[in-house]
């Protein structure tokens, strides 16, 4: 298991890349994916009202979440590149310059040593509340 985390504007987003021989989580509505590498991460966008309020770069942003959609890849390199692009895109969708997103790839994350937040959503690093929902 590999975690891909992006940090920018005082907040973070982490997704999970499941490797060969690991089982990606299943949930209602998730497509069956037969691939060597499966990427799972939240998708979200800014809305004028409603959604969840997040602090991003010192301002409050209303964020609506879409259901995570697993994506499959045949090679590790392609999967990591796509994961990094996905994370940058999510930040861009809430008004953060994608070039300011710092990407961290955490190898062998399946042992639970990086369990301060569950893969997927993370709250603002400054408020420490954990899950963004």
Hey, where are the domains in the chain?
2-110
* Model confidence, pTM: 0.79
User: Residue 106: what pLDDT?
Assistant: 98
Element (H, E) at 82: helix 76-93
127 or 54, higher pLDDT: 54
Which residue, chain included where needed, has tokens 């603002």? Answer: 124
The pLDDT assigned to 1 comes to 95
Contacts of 78 (CB under 8 A, 6+ apart): 37
Long-range residue pairs from 116-119, CB within 8 A, at least 24 positions apart, any chain: 117/12, 117/14, 119/3, 119/14, 119/15, 119/16, 119/40, 119/41
- Cα–Cα separations (whole angstroms), residue 14 to 23, 29, 102: 18, 21, 12
**Res 32 pLDDT > 80:** no
Mean pLDDT of the chain: 83
For residue 68, the model assigns a pLDDT of 84
If one compares 73 and 26, the residue with the highest pLDDT of the two is: 73
Question: Tens digits of per-residue pLDDT, 78-123?
Answer: 999 999 999 999 999 999 999 999 999 999 877 554 433 333 444 3
Residue 44 has pLDDT above 50, yes or no: yes
Q: For the CA atoms of the chain, what is the radius of gyration?
A: 14
């Amino acid at each position: 298991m590999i975690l891909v985390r992006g940090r920018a504007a005082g907040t973070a987003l982490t997704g999970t890349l499941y490797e060969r021989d690991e089982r990606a989580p299943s949930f209602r509505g998730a497509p069956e994916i037969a691939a060597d590498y499966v990427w799972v991460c939240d998708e979200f966008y800014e809305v004028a009202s409603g959604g969840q309020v997040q602090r991003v770069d010192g301002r409050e942003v209303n964020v609506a979440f879409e259901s995570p959609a697993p994506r499959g890849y045949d090679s590790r390199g392609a999967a990591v590149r796509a994961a990094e692009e996905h994370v940058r895109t999510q930040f861009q969708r809430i008004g953060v310059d994608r070039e300011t997103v710092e990407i961290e790839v955490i190898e062998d994350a399946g042992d639970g040593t990086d369990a301060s937040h569950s893969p997927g959503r993370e709250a603002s690093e400054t408020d420490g509340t954990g899950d963004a929902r």
